[in-house]
Amino acid sequence: MADMNRRVFLHRGTAALIGCSAAASPWLTTVTLAQGAEVLGDQRLVVVILRGAMDGLDVVRPEGDALYRSYRPNLLGEPGLPLDGFFTLHPRLGGLMPLWQAGELAFVHATSTPYRDKRSHFDGQDILEAGTGLDVLQPEVRDGWLNRMLQTVPGLSSETAYAVGRDALPLLHGAAGVRSWIPDQKLAISAQGRRLLEEVYAQDPLFHAAAMQAMDLAQSQAFEAEIHRQVEADIAMQEQDAGMQAEGQMSDAPARTKRESESEDLAAFAAGRLRGNTRIAAFSLSGWDSHRNQAQVIGGSLQALEQLILRLRQDLGDVWSNTTVLAMTEFGRTARENGNKGTDHGTGGAMLMAGGAIRGGKVHGRWPGLDEAALYDRRDLMPTTDVRSWAAWTMRGLYGLDRSVLEQAVFPGLQMGDNPGLLR
């Protein structure tokens, strides 16, 4: 019966996509909050989806376990930075050590979604973003868990949540109004053209919603200003690149890579919104699928993640103390290195938490050990928790959502377990 309800709910989500408003949500009565931009209070939540399966065992290294080094003789380059006596941090996240010391950085280890065995990136990401267990057939789930969370809160404006960046973000798809932003996209259209297009789009709800938002966004002054800033920055960077090529050599100073600067730009935009009425922002960061030369592959991605967090912290200022960042991935990678100084698809992985609102300086989760018998399928880190439970406790802590709402509407079928005390 519980399954039945879940399916009905998720079907409703699909129906809502084609025109019903959040007012149709069956969860409206379970949460009572003030109206307007204040409905979610002061707390900010930033979710980063790390696409490609981040190797949790490389990022938060269980060096206290003697087997670790024996599994990875060719993989570990520079030594990790000590965290708690057992785990060390990947050196390319070294810029986050001050946050660790200030209690603004934490990790969860040996965690995963309920997804097992096939180890497909795409199914893994679908399940991570849909937030479902495996008892719900994927094609039925058309909305993401962060959107369903928004659906449970009445009175939100579309300004409340932003999907930031070029990649599609199924995490925020769904009936609740959400805005999206991509650097340097602008729309040039005549006033008459706009009026006529509005008539033409009125026939097509999906198109209409996206197009109206696009045209509104394009006409807002703040948006234009951001675009100009962005375009200037891009041009400056291209000129710099061109200059370096003309010289035929690279300068000694470590140049900011395109990825780092893009992730900083996204963070800067998100911070600007979060300082205003926006409470939720989500990104995705790809580049973790390290089948080969893991040190290089993951190094650049970690650097981009570090820049993203540091820029958020810098630009958020006072608001950082009310901010929680969750960075999660579809699954971890094999405990042993493969034949190409890389790792293949695995199961248990790690999640990163940052922000002034968290109680950091800790690696959460029960450590399962690395003995072959303790590994999942004798190859992967054994997951000891459901990654959704950490996100659920975070949202409960930030927004006071009822446990039943989180376990049924947001993450159907989740058992949250005991409060792990993630927040201050």
| Residue closer to another protein (CB basis): 112 or 323 | 112
Smallest distance, Å, CB 346 to another protein?
10
Q: State how far the Cα of 345 lies from the Cα of 379, in Å rounded to an integer.
A: 10
Query: Can you tell me whether residue 314 is helix, strand or coil?
Result: helix
| Residue closer to another protein (CB basis): 60 or 217 | 217
β-bridge pairing 323-329 and 44-51:
parallel
β-bridge pairing 60-61 and 385-386:
unpaired
Smallest distance, Å, CB 359 to another protein?
35
Smallest distance, Å, CB 162 to another protein?
11
Smallest distance, Å, CB 212 to another protein?
8
Where b means 16+ CB within 10 Å and e means fewer, 315-354 reads: bbeebbebbbbbbbbbbbbbbbbbeebbbbbbbbbbbbbb
Smallest distance, Å, CB 2 to another protein?
24
Q: Which two tokens stand for residue 177?
A: 């109004």
| Residue closer to another protein (CB basis): 142 or 364 | 142
| Residue closer to another protein (CB basis): 102 or 250 | 250
- Strand segments, DSSP code E, in 113-217 are 161-164, 179-181
How many Cβ atoms from other residues are within 10 Å of residue 166's Cβ? Answer: 13
| Residue closer to another protein (CB basis): 30 or 120 | 120
Output phi, psi for 286, to 5 deg.
-100, 180
Smallest distance, Å, CB 81 to another protein?
26
Q: State how far the Cα of 216 lies from the Cα of 214, in Å rounded to an integer.
A: 6
Contact 235, 229 (CB under 8 A): no
Smallest distance, Å, CB 189 to another protein?
5
| Residue closer to another protein (CB basis): 193 or 417 | 193
Query: Can you tell me whether residue 85 is helix, strand or coil?
Result: coil
| Residue closer to another protein (CB basis): 36 or 122 | 122
Contact 184, 234 (CB under 8 A): yes
Helix 258-274 crosses helix 221-247 at what angle (to 10 degrees)? 160
Smallest distance, Å, CB 188 to another protein?
6
Binding site for another protein (CB under 8 A): 17, 51-52, 74, 117-123, 142, 163, 166-168, 173, 179-182, 185-190, 192-193, 196-197, 199-204, 206-207, 210-211, 213-215, 217-218, 248, 286, 289, 291-292, 338-340, 342, 344-345, 377, 379
| Residue closer to another protein (CB basis): 52 or 133 | 52
Angle subtended at Cα 281 by Cα 275 and Cα 287, rounded to the nearest 5 degrees: 130
Contact 330, 380 (CB under 8 A): no
DSSP 117: S
